[in-house]
Amino acid sequence: SVPETLLEVSGIEAGYGKIAVLHGIDMRIAPGEVVSLLGPNGAGKTTLLRAIAGLLPWTAGSVRFDGRDMRDAGPRESARAGLVHVIEGHRVFTQISVTDNLLLAAYDLPRRERAARIEEVLETFPEIAAKRHDKGGALSGGQQQMLAVAQGLIRRPRLLMLDEPSAGLSPVLVDRVLAVVSDLRAAGTAVLLVEQLIEKALAVSDRVYAMAQGRIVLEAKANEADLPHRLERAYFGQD
């Protein structure tokens, strides 16, 4: 049976050395759900994604993924368990081909599955498939961003965490990347999306959390009336 909760974050506290950044974060994501994580610069969104992905140790609280305690998992184990993190401004290897970039992302999959998985993700991104033999550096910024997402998808994650996938993209390419998020949702893949483009993020999301100063200050369904206005007030601490 499908568990109701895929990711359960409870009371997470984390930071950098003596600097506390996350002050007790609670968050849930159901299988196949698209959830936006919004908030002003410095709110702690990237730090939360890093903690969930096993890149940053937390000092209190717990992360459960697919029923499993992720305390000692680390980034590799997390990715193997189906929790994949595409970092902000991820840059692909510019001197090797698109296909080789994908092959690198597939390095720990069984050898016999790699080629099929590469074809699978290339089908999702026709604009990259057309350039599969080109070097990564020959792709536009938007295409490189798509290749970064494709590298994440090659493991068929159950939860894909995207940190500002629209950063530096033209409006048309932003729409294209967010259309991929909608496709993932339709295919049953859960997504945790950090975005600055509030309206666009809400348009592809089921639910939303807003953070400010290391705390969750709002949780809502993405289609709730007046949400952009409520979000703005939550950001500035008047909600």
* Least distance from ligand ATP to the Cβ atom of residue 190, Å: 20
Strands annotated E in 90-214: 159-163, 190-194, 207-212
Q: Is 1 in the site for ligand ATP (CB under 6 A)?
A: no
Choice from 14, 38, 43, 190 touching ligand ATP (CB under 6 A):
43
Q: Is 44 in the site for ligand ATP (CB under 6 A)?
A: yes
Q: In the chain, helix, strand, coil percent, each to 5?
A: 35, 25, 35
* Least distance from ligand ATP to the Cβ atom of residue 43, Å: 4
Choice from 16, 72, 107, 123 touching ligand ATP (CB under 6 A):
16
Q: Is 19 in the site for ligand ATP (CB under 6 A)?
A: yes
Nearer to ligand ATP, 52 or 150 (CB): 52
* Least distance from ligand ATP to the Cβ atom of residue 216, Å: 12
Residues 34, 38: Cα–Cα separation, whole Å: 13
Residue 233 exposed, middle or buried by CB count within 10 Å (0-12, 13-18, 19+):
middle
Q: Is 117 in the site for ligand ATP (CB under 6 A)?
A: no
Choice from 6, 7, 9, 21 touching ligand ATP (CB under 6 A):
21
**Interface positions, 146-165, toward ligand ATP (CB under 6 A):** none
* Least distance from ligand ATP to the Cβ atom of residue 79, Å: 20
Choice from 36, 38, 46, 189 touching ligand ATP (CB under 6 A):
46
Nearer to ligand ATP, 51 or 227 (CB): 51
- 130-162: burial string, b at 16+ Cβ within 10 Å, e else: ebbeebbeebeebbbbbbbbbbbbbbebbbbbb
* Least distance from ligand ATP to the Cβ atom of residue 194, Å: 7
Query: Judging by DSSP bridges, how do beta strands 68-69 and 34-38 pair with one another?
Result: unpaired
Structure tokens given for 113: 């599955």
Residue type, 149: V
In the Cβ-directed half-sphere of 153, how many Cα atoms lie within 13 Å?
A: 27
Binding residues for ligand ATP, rule: CB under 6 A, are: 16, 19, 21, 39, 41-47
